Amino acid sequence: MVESTKYIYDFSEGSADMRTLLGGKGANLAQMWKIGLPVPPGFIITTEACHKYWEEKDFIAGIWDDVEAAVARVEKLAGKKFGSSENPLLVSVRSGAPVSMPGMMDTILNLGLNDDTVAALAKSAGDERFAYDSYRRFIQMFSDVVLEVDLEKFEERLAQARENAGVKEDYKIPAEELKKLVVDYKKIVEEAGCTFPTDPWVQLRLAIDAVFRSWNTPRAITYRKINNIPAEYGTAVNIVTMVFGNLGDDCGTGVCFTRSPSNGENKLFGEYLINAQGEDVVAGIRTPVPIASLEKAMPEVYKEFHRIAKLLETHYRDAQDIEFTVERGKLYILQTRNGKRTASAAVRIAMDMLHEGLIDAETAVSRVAPEQVEQLLHPQLDPKAKRDMIVKGLPASPGAAVGKVVFDADEAAERGGKGEAVILVRPETTPDDIHGLFAAQGVLTSHGGMTSHAAVVARGLGKPCVSGAESVKIDLVAGTFSVGGVTVKKDDFLTLDGTNGDVILGKIELIEPQFDENFRELLEDADKISNMQVWANADTPEDARRARSFGAKGIGLCRTEHMFMAAERLPVMQEMVVATTTEERVAQLKKLEVMQEEDFLGIFEAMEGLPVTVRLLDPPLHEFLPKIPELTKALEGLAPESAEAKKINATIARARELHEQNPMLGFRGCRLGMIFPEIYEMQARAIFNAACKLTKKGLRIIPDIMIPLVGTQEEMKSMRKLVDETGAAVIKETGVKLEYMVGTMIELPRAALVADQLAEYAQFFSFGTNDLTQTTFGYSRDDAEGKFLGQYVEMGVFEENPFARLDRDGVGALMEIAVGKGRSVRPGIQLGICGEHGGNPSSIAFCNKLKLNYVSCSPFRVPVARLSAALAALGVLK
């Protein structure tokens, strides 16, 4: 007999490791049930059922008997009956994907209510107000989620009910007024052309259908895209006995993080509302009170909650985000999940838990994602700048944001998408605003707490957010907000400090970020785990110092041509480039040599004790050629036969001669050294002189000299000889002992293919994957990105731009060949990468597979690379 697939699991049948099948919420509810925590009875319809739902028409009908049986089991546990007009069981129906997507999909509470059951509920609870409050909520939520009736009419009518009753808060509306509200709510549904189902079983079926449907709403799709969540996951449906936080003042509901999701501080961080249901807390309509005050309001409940929160944290060995409800003094846990957190909170929580002995160093390091490190390196507001603070809200998501005020999510998405810096200002945000939040620099809301939608989403996106700035009065129609006598218009500049909640009028200067102790320690642990070192690409002593302070263990690429870009040097360089005789060239080179030696002295000193890889000149020649229009202009007014005019004309002729159609494939790299050896000789001498001078002073200098764009063995052989001879002369002259290496970049497919031949002369290889990508694809690295690569990515030709993320199949395959061939000739050959990919997490993971010795990237990416290298070694990053 073929066993039929099981699509429904009771809580007692699941566990935390079943999240793929049961979704995160379901798996954790089952786990909490298992360890005896107070979870209301319920069951889960699996994510596999979601797949079937999208494949098969009428799938839900096919599993209906099982749903009925599961409800019957819940009825038994809850001691209530679904649809009964005596002691009715009400349920919540909530979505739950394998990874959490806060607020992205749908929830229906109080399902099972109709005109009969509401009366029974009023009777059994002894509270008519509560019963009708639950009923009106149910009609509103069900109509929104299932029937897709516009919410606005319900909100208007609710506001009217408050007015009729002369109260400000929903929970103060009396029963009589709520009864009228329910009648009118049903009318709104009818006017929208829908029928509100009165049969609880029909309600349940439609709700399950809506949850499955919600997996493919535009907002869920956008969220998945932003967060790289595969569409194949699907969502489970959780059907759980309702417990009520809206039964009076000994009831309430809240959400709580076991540690601060904002800065990681180890204390309960949450908020709750008395006499309310779950959606009131996250919707941002009522601003909830901090969890600490629960200790006074309900001391016993607080004690129990504190115990469970710590227990869950120890159980999951991670900071938890918990939803709870208190019904008549009894605490229920409705959900727990690993709490989303900002980058700085992630670092602090990981390191604190490591120190507390809760997790090991490997786990601590893998708790931080490379993208989060980028957030830590975001600029901060200059603390010395004058702050024209207009209001202080809640510090909901840290960091600094500066931009122009916009009030509409669509507009924020459009303008932000075009690169304009905008700040989204809203009374509160909803999941439909996600695209605007994503494109804005930061978010300001006048309502909602630290766990409001805006706060949660902003933290997830690493965007600064100030929420709950209640005194901000927003006029969406006029496009203004006012606070404390100041009126701010659309397009005015605003600065947010999400770290402390300051809202500042105008623009504030930003400064470079600082490393804190936890982050330093985390990266040191990462270094111990990594198989590869992280070096930096640095051309100046200042860059070298920065790289070293960020933890670089060497310089993997010092581009010497950049040294000649400075205003006072460029003319000398140009004279050298256009020189027609060796003497002329040598005369200019002498001047350049003095400057070069200075440069190297500075860099070597900054990197004392660590290797510095200096690449000999590789100028795409056109960058150094004098501009012909400028020369022609300089000729104006000069007598044609004058010496000056003659010189200019000669330069023009030489510039024309040197002009190339394809400079990137032209007279570059070692080709220059082959044709004009005096250039490389000068550079080698400057390097050796600087290194020997410092060595003489007692510093440990480790220079490695790198030959660019080598494609043949002969090039490598001649250049090595030239460098060695120059070195030998300087070393002899200065009488110091200096160890150095001469190696090459692998940046041409041919170099990769003949790497064994090159390794006979090259003591190290460094993959120049910028050029290697350019020459492997035949795409100009200067043009392709602006011309067609963007569209290629959109069309799906590439998942990502191959100049940013290494193309493993092509460029990577060449690297693999080069690694194999290089090692076959020189087993211990030092291997590294210095193209831009050296700072890209996925590319770093690939380098780890090839067992390179180091990756080298720009100084600011060093921390990201250090973490990525560790994650690659742990197999977390593949």
Number of residues engaging ligand PEP in binding (CB under 6 A) = 10
Cβ-proximal residues to 191 (8 Å cutoff; 6+ apart), any chain? none
835 binds ligand PEP (CB under 6 A): yes
- Among residues 558, 834, 847, 857, the one annotated as catalytic is 834
768 marked ligand binding residue: yes
> Is the distance from CB of 376 to CB of 343 less than 8 angstroms?
yes
Q: Which residue from 415, 559, 585, 685 is in contact with ligand PEP, where contact means CB under 6 A?
A: 559
Q: Which residue from 284, 771, 819, 829 is in contact with ligand PEP, where contact means CB under 6 A?
A: 771
Q: Residue 766: what are its φ and ψ, rounded to 5°?
A: -130, 125
User: Which range of residues in 6-14, 192-200, 516-524, 766-774 is near ligand PEP by CB under 6 A?
Assistant: 766-774
User: Cβ 770 to ligand PEP, closest distance in Å?
Assistant: 3
User: Cβ 747 to Mg ion, closest distance in Å?
Assistant: 5
Residue 559's binding partner out of ligand PEP, Mg ion, none, with CB under 5 to 8 Å set by partner kind: ligand PEP
Q: Tell how strand 88-89 and strand 81-82 pair up.
A: parallel
Residue list 613-672, contact with ligand PEP (CB under 6 A) = 618
834 binds ligand PEP (CB under 6 A): yes
User: Cβ 206 to ligand PEP, closest distance in Å?
Assistant: 58
Q: Which is nearer to ligand PEP, 361 or 557 (CB)?
A: 557
Helix (H/G/I), strand (E/B), else coil: 166: coil
User: Cβ 543 to ligand PEP, closest distance in Å?
Assistant: 14
Other CB atoms within 10 Å distance of the CB of residue 356 = 11
User: Cβ 479 to ligand PEP, closest distance in Å?
Assistant: 46
Report the candidate in 51, 44, 109 with the shortest Cα–Cα distance to residue 71: 44
User: Cβ 459 to ligand PEP, closest distance in Å?
Assistant: 36
Q: Which is nearer to Mg ion, 392 or 622 (CB)?
A: 622
**CA–CA gap between residue 150 and residue 152 (Å, rounded):** 6
Q: Is 453 a catalytic residue?
A: yes
User: Cβ 781 to ligand PEP, closest distance in Å?
Assistant: 8
**CA–CA gap between residue 415 and residue 420 (Å, rounded):** 6
Which residue number is nearest to Mg ion in terms of Cβ? 771
Q: Which is nearer to ligand PEP, 599 or 771 (CB)?
A: 771
User: Cβ 813 to ligand PEP, closest distance in Å?
Assistant: 17
* Single-letter amino acid code for the residue at 764: F
Cβ-proximal residues to 305 (8 Å cutoff; 6+ apart), any chain? 256, 294, 324, 331
433 binds ligand PEP (CB under 6 A): no
* Beta bridge mates, 722: none
Rounding to the nearest 10 degrees, give the CA dihedral for residues 815, 817, 823, 824.
Answer: -170
- CA gyration radius for the chain? 34
46 marked ligand binding residue: no
List the structure tokens of 718. Answer: 């001649």
265 marked ligand binding residue: no
Other CB atoms within 10 Å distance of the CB of residue 179 = 17
Helix (H/G/I), strand (E/B), else coil: 812: helix
Block residue for tokens 């070192």: 533
Residue 834's binding partner out of ligand PEP, Mg ion, none, with CB under 5 to 8 Å set by partner kind: ligand PEP
DSSP strands (E only) in 542-647: 555-559, 611-615
Q: Which is nearer to ligand PEP, 275 or 596 (CB)?
A: 596
Exposed / middle / buried, residue 662 (Cβ in 10 Å: 0-12, 13-18, 19+): exposed
> Is the distance from CB of 41 to CB of 354 less than 8 angstroms?
no
Report the candidate in 91, 23, 531 with the shortest Cα–Cα distance to residue 233: 23
User: Cβ 618 to ligand PEP, closest distance in Å?
Assistant: 6
615 marked ligand binding residue: yes
- Report helix, strand and coil shares of the chain as percent, to nearest 5: 50, 15, 35
Element at 621 (helix H, strand E): none
Q: Which residue from 263, 770, 780, 801 is in contact with ligand PEP, where contact means CB under 6 A?
A: 770
User: Which range of residues in 87-95, 367-375, 510-518, 768-776 is near ligand PEP by CB under 6 A?
Assistant: 768-776
> Is the distance from CB of 117 to CB of 88 less than 8 angstroms?
yes
Alpha helices (runs of H) in 63-127, residue ranges in sequence order? 64-78, 115-125
Residue list 499-518, contact with ligand PEP (CB under 6 A) = none
189 binds ligand PEP (CB under 6 A): no
861 binds ligand PEP (CB under 6 A): no
Q: Which residue from 240, 423, 557, 877 is in contact with ligand PEP, where contact means CB under 6 A?
A: 557
User: Which range of residues in 378-386, 719-727, 751-759, 762-770 is near ligand PEP by CB under 6 A?
Assistant: 762-770
Q: Which is nearer to Mg ion, 352 or 561 (CB)?
A: 561
Residue 127's binding partner out of ligand PEP, Mg ion, none, with CB under 5 to 8 Å set by partner kind: none
Q: Is 50 a catalytic residue?
A: no
* Beta bridge mates, 395: 466
Q: Which residue from 768, 822, 839, 841 is in contact with ligand PEP, where contact means CB under 6 A?
A: 768
User: Cβ 784 to Mg ion, closest distance in Å?
Assistant: 15
Q: Which is nearer to ligand PEP, 736 or 804 (CB)?
A: 804
Binding residues for Mg ion, rule: CB under 5 A, are 747, 768, 771
597 marked ligand binding residue: no
Q: Which is nearer to ligand PEP, 254 or 669 (CB)?
A: 669
List the structure tokens of 605. Answer: 């000193």
- Among residues 453, 558, 692, 857, the one annotated as catalytic is 453
**CA–CA gap between residue 465 and residue 425 (Å, rounded):** 10
User: Which range of residues in 345-353, 388-396, 763-771, 804-812 is near ligand PEP by CB under 6 A?
Assistant: 763-771
User: Which range of residues in 354-362, 477-485, 687-695, 764-772 is near ligand PEP by CB under 6 A?
Assistant: 764-772
Cβ-proximal residues to 256 (8 Å cutoff; 6+ apart), any chain? 268, 269, 270, 271, 272, 291, 305, 309, 321, 322, 324
747 marked ligand binding residue: yes
User: Which range of residues in 92-100, 390-398, 431-439, 767-775 is near ligand PEP by CB under 6 A?
Assistant: 767-775
Q: Which is nearer to ligand PEP, 44 or 558 (CB)?
A: 558
Block residue for tokens 């009217």: 160
Element at 334 (helix H, strand E): strand 330-338
Exposed / middle / buried, residue 2 (Cβ in 10 Å: 0-12, 13-18, 19+): exposed
> How many angstroms separate the Cα of 693 from the Cα of each of 577, 597, 696, 704, 848?
29, 10, 5, 16, 37
List the structure tokens of 271. Answer: 């908020």
Report the candidate in 552, 684, 544 with the shortest Cα–Cα distance to residue 604: 544
**CA–CA gap between residue 746 and residue 350 (Å, rounded):** 39
Q: Which is nearer to ligand PEP, 275 or 537 (CB)?
A: 537
**CA–CA gap between residue 746 and residue 835 (Å, rounded):** 10
747 binds ligand PEP (CB under 6 A): yes
Residue 557's binding partner out of Mg ion, ligand PEP, none, with CB under 5 to 8 Å set by partner kind: ligand PEP
> Is the distance from CB of 605 to CB of 703 less than 8 angstroms?
no
User: Cβ 683 to ligand PEP, closest distance in Å?
Assistant: 15
Residue 266's binding partner out of ligand PEP, Mg ion, none, with CB under 5 to 8 Å set by partner kind: none
Residue 835's binding partner out of Mg ion, ligand PEP, none, with CB under 5 to 8 Å set by partner kind: ligand PEP
User: Which range of residues in 301-309, 721-729, 765-773, 791-799 is near ligand PEP by CB under 6 A?
Assistant: 765-773
55 marked ligand binding residue: no
> Is the distance from CB of 576 to CB of 588 less than 8 angstroms?
yes
Report the candidate in 89, 74, 99 with the shortest Cα–Cα distance to residue 9: 74
377 binds ligand PEP (CB under 6 A): no
**Contact pattern from residue 700 through residue 719 relative to ligand PEP, giving x for each residue in contact according to CB under 6 A and a dash for the rest:** --------------------
The binding site for substrate consists of 559, 615, 747, 768-771
The binding site consists of 559, 615, 747, 768-771
Catalytic sites, residue numbers:
453, 834
The binding site for Mg(2+) consists of 747, 771
Residues of this chain that interact with ligand PEP (CB under 6 A) are: 557, 559, 618, 747, 768-771, 834-835
